Amino acid sequence: MHDCKIAPSTYYAHHKRQAAPSARTVRDSELKELIQHVYDTNYRVYGARKIWRELNRQGQAVARCTVERLMRELGITGAVRGRRVITTLPGGQTDRAPDLLDRDFVAGAPNRCWVADFTHVKTWAGVVYVAFVVDTFSRRIVGWSAATVKETVFVLDALEMGIWQREPPLVTWRP
**Residue 118 sits in a domain of what CATH number?**
3.30.160
Q: Would 1 be classed as within a structural domain?
A: no
Domain membership of residue 169 as a residue range: 83-175
Residue 131: pLDDT band by 50, 70, 90 thresholds? very high
Measured CA to CA, the distance from residue 51 to residue 72 in angstroms comes to 13
What is the per-residue pLDDT for 174? 56
Quick one: 89 and 172 in the same domain? yes
Residue 67 lies in a domain: yes
Q: Which residue type sits at 94?
A: T
- What confidence tens digit (pLDDT) does each residue in 36-91 have? 999 999 999 999 999 999 999 999 999 999 999 999 999 999 988 777 777 666 77
Region label for 49, one of left (φ > 0), alpha (ψ between -120 and 50) or beta (otherwise) = alpha
| pLDDT score at 80 | 84
- Is the pLDDT higher at 15 or at 115? 115
Q: Are residues 92 and 69 in the same domain?
A: no
CA neighbor of 114 nearest in space, from 161, 175, 149, 153: 161
**Mean predicted confidence (pLDDT) in 141-152:** 90
Last residue of a domain, one of 52, 74, 96: 74
- Answering whether pTM is above 0.85, one says no
For residues 59 and 97, membership in a common domain is answered with no
Judged on CB neighbours under 10 Å (0-12, 13-18, 19+), 57 is: exposed
User: How much is the average pLDDT of 138-143?
Assistant: 90
Same domain, 140 and 172: yes
Full DSSP string of 54-68: HHHHTT----HHHHH
**Do 95 and 146 have their domain in common?**
yes
Share of the chain above pLDDT 90, in %: 44
For 158-170, letters b (16+ CB in 10 Å) and e give bbebbbeebeeee
Q: Is residue 2 part of a domain?
A: no
Q: Is residue 54 part of a domain?
A: yes
Q: Are 172 and 114 contained in the same domain?
A: yes
Domain boundary among the residues 56, 74, 92 is at: 74
Average pLDDT over residues 93-101: 78
